[in-house]
Structure 1
Amino acid sequence: MADEKKVYLDYNATTPLEPEVIGAITSSLTEEWGNPSSSHDAGVKAKKVIDEARCNVANMIGAKSSDIIFTSGGTEGNNMIIQTAVKYAYHDMSNGYPGGDNRDKLPHFITSNLEHDSVKLVLEHLAEEGTASVTFVPASSKTGQVDVDDVLSAIRPSTCMITVMLANNETGVIQPIKLISEKLRQINQSRKSLPKILLHTDAAQAIGKIEVDVEDLGVDYLTVVGHKFYGPRIGAIYVRNLGDKDVPLYPMLYGGGQERNYRPGTENTVMIAGLGKAAELVVKNIICYKNHLSSVRDYLEIKLQATFKDRIHLNGKFATSERLPNTCNVSILSDKLQGHKVLSNCRILQASIGAACHSQNRPSPILLAIGVPESVARNALRLSVGRETTKDDIDCVIQDLIQAVNQLENHITET
């Protein structure tokens, strides 16, 4: 048992480092160890690595390198952007908003009920402490997406930001960010004396799986998370025309002035080097990555349906919505096959029932939010394939699921 091959299908939770990324990190540990703020050779070498990495991250999302700020990861990036919107709003609302009511004494955010906790809980906290108000727009049970018109109809005079993820981490459903942007641009032009409504998307799950371009999306802010695309556990944020008043950024920390005073503290050159290399690989290989992921994920779903037939329910697969090419959220229908029980009885499959940071023994709030019945949601398995996953791996997983299901339904206890 201990020697059985393991098949990891939890790439939406985290990914391993690519060998080239490990090489960049190792090289930086030994060669670019200087303080990037120093003017001598050791410092200059470290700063060059950071500059190159910044360019690679920018190229990956179609941005200017001057619009990229490195962070510790997605949670910091999302917090920084949301806190910026609060300060931006308070700066412009000292005398209240014309045409507003009592609700408009507070900055107003619009988001979806699908967001990662690093957005959702931040906004809930701001609302609880009376710092901001929040509208959570429900996703459609017919598409798994937020409806663009529902998002825009929630706008108030005090609305300061719309923040909607680019792709959901559990279902893989891609949200209509470009359409929101296009319509929001028209609304902003008509707001006259009211401040611009800022647009943010958390692109953590999308980058490395599909093409992501900030100009095409039309966003003001975008969050990058390295460990989702075979990079280290740091991140970056994109801010449109960073430094201009139109799209502000306020620091959460104060100190030595690194990252143009937006994110002070001596730079983590080693991890930044790894992030830059991971971004470079995405730029070079995204089409190949996407095609491979899609091929293997589709094969997985075909095999699941062929094996378990009408007992299979694909959660989040909608005729009119696009999904990430690597993500399959599936339930095997039975009152004995709750997701956590199935995974506990698998010998080789390593996967999850939802977001890695959530309880493993309750139905996913995301699935419930898109209309999946609770009895079906309790059985959900989130299977996310990676660059290394093969069809042979999928065949092994199918056999593993068969034996796990048999154990649970027949009450077989191994000795």
Structure 2
Amino acid sequence: MEGIGKAYLDYNATTPLDPLVIGVITESLKCEWGNPSSAHSLGKLASDRIGRSREQVAAMINAHANDIVFMSGGTEANIVALQSGLNSITKPNSKECNIVLPHVITSNVEHDSVKNYLSVQQDCGKIDLSFAQVDKASGQLRPESVLSLVNNRTCLISVMHANNETGVLMPIMEIGQALKALNVSRSQNNLPKIYFHTDSAQSLGKVKVDVKQLEVDYLTIVGHKFYGPRIGALFVKDLLTQTPLVPLLQGGGQERGFRSGTENTPMIAGLGQAAELVVQNLDKYMEHMTRCRNALISNLKDQIHDIRINFVVDPRLPNTVSLQVPQNVTAQKVLENCNGKIFASLGAACHSNSQKPSSILMASGLSPEEAGRTIRISIGRTTPDSEIEFAVKVLTEACKRA
């Protein structure tokens, strides 16, 4: 948005389509419009494109192409992973009086598509749910906070890779490695395997994501967070032989029977191209976002008295700044005083119309008053220096007027 007096700094909410992604989608719309399930040449053309995209998405996370299933987006991928993990536990005989509930662990700062789904299952009496608490001094999750909640009925753990509001990266690798060893012991004691899911919506395209290092069974991929289309995918470890996947939709059995509905070939093609760009350029993207973030923080501190930067911890996303404006003003008022020149958020985009302080920020250690003074700024991989300078100027003037 350079040169028009505005700065878009809400890339954690969504990203624009990369021009190369638009090109691939357009080409696919023109040339690959056949039904991928058709046996003729037009169908094969579309099917081959989907296969290439599956390989591109897999390469982005160091996975096997067979372990990628395309979904409508992150919410569907999250729910399919959760219900698949829950379905894995051996159900007791329904005639028995004492039916043991499967136990699930998640964190207290998860996206609503995880938190709300699991809470509904708990309210319906279908699961026993535990919430691991993030550290209130840092917003970080300690591995032991998760692992200490494991019991003999635990069958599923779901923890996001990076928090969309704080930018804090969670210890997925440490939890995954501990679970790998623990599952060996549980198998020897005839206890159910604990499946591990992570939502990587905010981390892909910003930091390295390697499913082999993370030791996860399920990983959620969301295209519009890394300059791709608004579809997604789910990684399922050893899908065809080891990890269960329960289809959310029943129908014609597309996606090898795991996701019925005729595949959206052009958007899948775009997702593959977006993934390939991440593979080719991730180091460059990370370096640029980190430099812009640090410049933004440094200049804001120089210009605005009593400003505070929340969650300055490692590891964290290279592009996210949780900015707490000075006392006696609110973040809402500051953004209003920007007169539409700054595009940023008070919290998660899905809660942008709420007048209440962010529950995620408060769970991460901020008071309601502090949460009400917090603006989330998220930088893109092509954000120009001029937009950072412009944003500092506008925010400084807005804080003074407030």
| TM-score, structure 2 as length reference | 0.95
Aligned counterpart for 1:301 among listed residues 293, 297, 304: 297
Residue 93, structure 1, aligned to residue 79, structure 2: no
Q: Quote the Cα distance in structure 1 between the aligned partners of 2:209 and 2:85.
A: 23
1:71-110 counterparts in 2 under 5 A? Answer: 71-89=71-89, 92-95=90-93, 105-110=100-105
Aligned counterpart for 2:202 among listed residues 188, 202, 205: 205
Q: In the alignment, is the contact (CA less than 8 A) between 1:340 and 1:360 conserved in 2?
A: no
Residue 255, structure 1, aligned to residue 251, structure 2: yes
Deviation per CA, 1:331-356: give whole Å up to 9, x if none: 112222x1122111113111001100
1:209 maps to a residue whose letter is K
Q: CA deviation at 1:63?
A: 0.2
Deviation per CA, 1:356-376: give whole Å up to 9, x if none: 011442211111112112221
Residue 146, structure 1, aligned to residue 138, structure 2: no
Q: Quote the Cα distance in structure 1 between the aligned partners of 2:139 and 2:355.
A: 23
Aligned counterpart for 1:339 among listed residues 328, 331, 342: 331
2:224 maps to a residue whose letter is H
Q: Quote the Cα distance in structure 2 between the aligned partners of 1:69 and 1:325.
A: 28
Q: Quote the Cα distance in structure 1 between the aligned partners of 2:74 and 2:148.
A: 28
Q: In the alignment, is the contact (CA less than 8 A) between 1:354 and 1:360 conserved in 2?
A: no
Q: 1:164 to 1:15 in 2, by over 3 A?
A: same
Deviation per CA, 1:128-149: give whole Å up to 9, x if none: 1111111011100233221111
Q: CA deviation at 1:95?
A: 4.8
Q: In the alignment, is the contact (CA less than 8 A) between 2:161 and 2:172 conserved in 1?
A: yes
1:298 maps to a residue whose letter is N
Q: Quote the Cα distance in structure 1 between the aligned partners of 2:236 and 2:4.
A: 47
Q: In the alignment, is the contact (CA less than 8 A) between 2:138 and 2:365 conserved in 1?
A: no
Q: CA deviation at 1:37?
A: 0.6
Residue 290, structure 1, aligned to residue 290, structure 2: no
Residue 178, structure 1, aligned to residue 173, structure 2: yes
How well do the aligned residues superpose, as a CA RMSD in angstroms? 1.5
Partner SS state of residue 349, structure 2: coil
Identity %: 48
Q: 1:373 to 1:362 in 2, by over 3 A?
A: same
Residue 135, structure 1, aligned to residue 117, structure 2: no
Q: In the alignment, is the contact (CA less than 8 A) between 1:329 and 1:382 conserved in 2?
A: yes
Q: Quote the Cα distance in structure 1 between the aligned partners of 2:267 and 2:146.
A: 37
1:341 maps to a residue whose letter is K
Q: Quote the Cα distance in structure 2 between the aligned partners of 1:344 and 1:240.
A: 46
1:247 maps to a residue whose letter is T
Match of 1:274 in 2: 270
Match of 1:374 in 2: 368
Q: In the alignment, is the contact (CA less than 8 A) between 2:304 and 2:399 conserved in 1?
A: no
Match of 1:329 in 2: 322
Q: In the alignment, is the contact (CA less than 8 A) between 1:28 and 1:270 conserved in 2?
A: yes
Matched length: 394
Q: Quote the Cα distance in structure 2 between the aligned partners of 1:200 and 1:116.
A: 13
Aligned counterpart for 2:344 among listed residues 341, 351, 354: 351
Deviation per CA, 1:247-288: give whole Å up to 9, x if none: 111111111111110101100001001000000100000000
1:233-252 counterparts in 2 under 5 A? Answer: 233-244=230-241, 246-252=242-248
1:327 maps to a residue whose letter is T
1:237 maps to a residue whose letter is L
Partner SS state of residue 136, structure 1: strand
Q: Which runs of 4+ in 1 moved over 4 A?
A: none
Q: Any stretches of 5+ residues in structure 1 without a counterpart?
A: 409-415
Match of 1:412 in 2: none
Q: Quote the Cα distance in structure 1 between the aligned partners of 2:254 and 2:286.
A: 35
1:215 maps to a residue whose letter is K
| TM-score, structure 1 as length reference | 0.92
Q: In the alignment, is the contact (CA less than 8 A) between 1:333 and 1:376 conserved in 2?
A: no
Residue 26, structure 1, aligned to residue 26, structure 2: yes
Q: Quote the Cα distance in structure 2 between the aligned partners of 1:126 and 1:66.
A: 30
1:342 maps to a residue whose letter is V
1:187 maps to a residue whose letter is L
1:382-397 counterparts in 2 under 5 A? Answer: 382-397=376-391
2:322 maps to a residue whose letter is N
Q: In the alignment, is the contact (CA less than 8 A) between 2:300 and 2:396 conserved in 1?
A: no
Q: CA deviation at 1:407?
A: 2.1
Q: Quote the Cα distance in structure 2 between the aligned partners of 1:261 and 1:30.
A: 27
Aligned counterpart for 1:400 among listed residues 378, 384, 394: 394
Q: Quote the Cα distance in structure 2 between the aligned partners of 1:331 and 1:360.
A: 18
Aligned counterpart for 2:111 among listed residues 116, 127, 134: 116
Q: CA deviation at 1:93?
A: 3.1
Q: Quote the Cα distance in structure 1 between the aligned partners of 2:138 and 2:199.
A: 20
Q: Quote the Cα distance in structure 1 between the aligned partners of 2:229 and 2:400.
A: 39
Q: Which deviates more from structure 2 when the two are superposed, residues 399-408 or residues 47-56?
A: 399-408
Match of 2:151 in 1: 156
Q: Any stretches of 5+ residues in structure 2 without a counterpart?
A: none
Aligned counterpart for 2:211 among listed residues 196, 202, 214: 214
Q: Quote the Cα distance in structure 1 between the aligned partners of 2:4 and 2:54.
A: 41
Q: Quote the Cα distance in structure 1 between the aligned partners of 2:61 and 2:7.
A: 31
